[in-house]
Structure 1
Amino acid sequence: MPTTTSRGADLLVRSLADAGVDTIFTLSGNHIMPIFDACKDAGIRLIHTRHEAAAVHMADAWARLTGKVGVALVTGGPGHANAVGALYTAAQAESPVVLLSGHAPLNQLGKGAFQEMAQADLAAPLTKASWTAQTTDGLAEDMARAFSTALSGRPGPVHVSLPTDVLDASVGSPRAVPEGAWRASPVVPDPDVLGDMLSRLRSARRPLILTGPALLTRPGRAVSAALAASTGVPVVGMESPRGVGDPCLGAFAEMLAQADCVLLLGKRLDFTLKFGQAPALAADVTVMQIDADDNELARSRAAFGDRLRATCAGDAVSGAQGLMAAVAQADAGSTVQAAAIDGASATGGGAGDGRAQGSGSQNLRADDKAADWRQAVAAAIAYRPAAWATATAGVPDRVHPAAAFRPLQTLLDSHPDAVLVVDGGEIGQWAQACLSASHRVINGIAGSIGSALPFAVAARVAVPGAPVVAVLGDGTFGFHAAEFDTAVRCGLPMVVVVGNDARWNAEYQIQVRDYGRDRTIGCELLPTRYDQVAAAFGGHGVNVTDPAMMDAAVQEAVGSGKPACINVMMEGLAAPTIRRG
Structure 2
Amino acid sequence: MTYAHGGELVARSLAAQGVSTIYTLCGGHVAPIYDGCLNHNIAVLDFRHEQAAAHAADAHARLTRNVGVALVTAGPGVTDAVTGVANAYQARSPMILLGGAAPLKTKGMGALQEMPQTEMFRTFTKASFTIERTEDIPEQLAEAYRHALSGRPGPVFVELPFDVLFNAVDAPETMPARVAIAPIPPPVAAVQAMFDLLRAAERPLIIAGTQVYWDGAGQALRELTDQTAIPVFTNGAGRGVLPMDHPHCFKAARSKALRAADVVLLIGTPLDFRLKYGREDWNPAGKLIQIENDAAELNHNRQADVAAVADARLVLEALAEGLQGIRFQAWLAQVAEWERARNEKQQAWEQLDDAPVNHFRFAAEVERFVDENTIVIGDGGDIVSACAKVLTITRPGQWLDPGPLGCLGVGAPFAIAAQRLFPDRRVLILSGDGSFGLNGFEFDTAVRFGLPIVAIVGNDAGWGQIRGPQIQMVGAERAIATSLAPTRYDKVVEALGGYGELVEEPGGIGPALERAFAGGKPACVNVMLDPAGMSKTGASSPYIV
1:80 aligns to what? 78
Partner residue, 2:111: 113
Pair 1:184–1:205, CA change in 2 (3 A): same
Q: Which amino acid aligns with 2:377?
A: V
Please tell me whether residue 428 in structure 1 is matched to residue 384 in structure 2: yes
2:259 alignment partner, one of 238, 257, 260 = 257
> Counterparts in 2 of 1:298-447, with a 5 A limit?
298-300=299-301, 303-304=302-303, 308-314=304-310, 318-328=311-321, 330=322, 366=327, 368-369=329-330, 371-372=332-333, 375=336, 385-393=346-354, 398-413=356-371, 416-437=372-393, 438=395, 439-447=398-406
Distance 1:367 1:526 in 2: 52
Contact 1:497 1:565 in 2 (8 A): yes
Relative distance call for 1:142 and 1:222 in structure 2 (3 A) is farther
For the structure 1 residues 377 and 389, does the alpha-carbon distance in structure 2 shift closer, same or farther, using more than 3 Å as the test? closer
Deviates more, 1:202-211 or 1:562-571: 202-211
How big is each residue's C-alpha offset from its partner over 1:163-217, in whole Å with a ceiling of 9 and x where there is no partner? 121112223364976645x223544321331232133123311112223323346
Match of 2:268 among 253, 263, 266: 266
Query: Of the two, which has the highest radius of gyration?
Result: 1
Q: For residue 14 of structure 1, what is the amino acid of its counterpart? A: R
After superposition, the Cα gap between the structure-2 partners of 1:143 and 1:235, relative to the gap in structure 1 and judged at 3 Å, is: farther
- Residue type at the aligned position of 1:299: H
Give the Å deviation of 1:131.
1.0
Deviation at 1:387, TM superposition (A): 0.3
Unmatched 5+ residue regions in structure 2?
A: 238-249, 541-545
Shift of 1:444: 1.7
Which residue number corresponds to residue 352 of structure 1? none
Residue 489 in 1 paired to residue 448 in 2? Answer: yes
SS in 2 for 1:31: helix
1:326 shift after superposition: 4.5
Match for residue 151 of structure 1 among 143, 149, 154: 149
> What does residue 237 of structure 1 align with?
234
SS in 1 for 2:423: coil
**Distance between the aligned counterparts of 2:424 and 2:67, measured in 1?**
21
Amino acid at match of 1:526: A
Q: 1:500 maps to what in 2?
A: 459
Change in 2 beyond 3 A, CA 1:457/1:380: farther
> CA shift at 1:367, angstroms?
5.0
Further displaced range: 255-264 or 167-176: 167-176
Instruction: Measure, in 2, the Cα distance between the counterparts of 1:325 and 1:477.
Output: 45
TM-score of the two chains, using structure 2 as the length reference: 0.89
Superimposed CA distance per residue, residues 127-177 of structure 1 (whole angstroms, 9 cap, x where no aligned partner): 111111122122112211111211121111111111121112223364976
2:96 and 2:214 mapped to 1: Cα distance? 17
For residues 376 and 198 of structure 1, what CA distance do their matches in structure 2 show? 27
Structure 1: tracts of 5 or more residues without a match:
241-247, 335-362
Q: Secondary structure at the match of 1:464?
A: coil
Contact 2:299 2:307 in 1 (8 A): no
Match of 1:193 among 190, 194, 198: 190
Q: Residues 435, 319 of structure 1: CA spacing in aligned structure 2 closer, same or farther, 3 A cutoff? A: closer
2:29 paired residue number: 31
Q: Distance in 2 between matches of 1:86 and 1:557?
A: 28
Residue identity (%): 37
Q: Aligned AA for 2:349?
A: W
For 2:442 and 2:218, the matched residues in 1 are separated by 28
Letter in 1 for 2:317: M
- Partner residue in 2 for 1:287: 288
- Between the aligned partners of 1:401 and 1:147, the Cα distance in structure 2 is 42
What is the CA deviation profile of residues 255-297 of structure 1, one whole-angstrom value per residue up to 9, with x for unaligned ones? 111110012222212222222224x101101112122333222
SS of residue matched to 1:289: strand
Aligned match of 2:123? 125
- Give the Cα separation in 1 of the matches to 2:294 and 2:135: 32
Q: What amino acid maps onto 2:253 in structure 1?
A: A
C-alpha distance in 1 between matches for 2:196 and 2:127: 37
Residue in 2 that maps onto 1:551 = 510
| Structure 1 position 234, deviation (Å) | 3.0
1:84 is displaced (CA, Å) by: 0.7
Provide the C-alpha distance between the structure 2 equivalents of 1:44 and 1:207, rounded to a whole number of angstroms: 48
Aligned 8 A contact 2:234 2:251 in 1: no
Give the whole-Å Cα distance in 2 for the aligned partners of 1:221 and 1:525. 41
Indicate the structure with greater helix content.
1
In structure 1, distance between residues paired with 2:187 and 2:338: 29
Match of 1:357 in 2: none
